[in-house]
Amino acid sequence: MQKADLLNKLVKSGVVAVIRGDNKEQAIKTVDAVIEGGITAIELTFTVPGADEVISTLTEKYKDNDKVIIGAGTVLEPTSARLAIINGAKFIVSPSFNKEVAKLCNLYCIPYTPGCLTPEEIQTALTYGADLIKVFPGNVAGMGAIKAFKGPFPYINIMPTGGVNLENMEKWFEAGASVVGAGSNLTKDAKDNNYAAVTEMARKYRAKYESIML
The set of catalytic residues is: 43, 134
- Residue 209 corresponds to which amino acid? Y
Residues 129 and 136: their CA atoms lie apart, in Å, by: 18
Helices 51-61 and 78-86, packing angle to 10 deg: 30
Distances (CA, A) of 87 to 58, 83, 144, 159, 162: 10, 6, 37, 24, 27
Strands of 15-19's sheet in order across: 158-160, 133-135, 112-116, 92-94, 69-73, 41-45, 15-19, 180-182
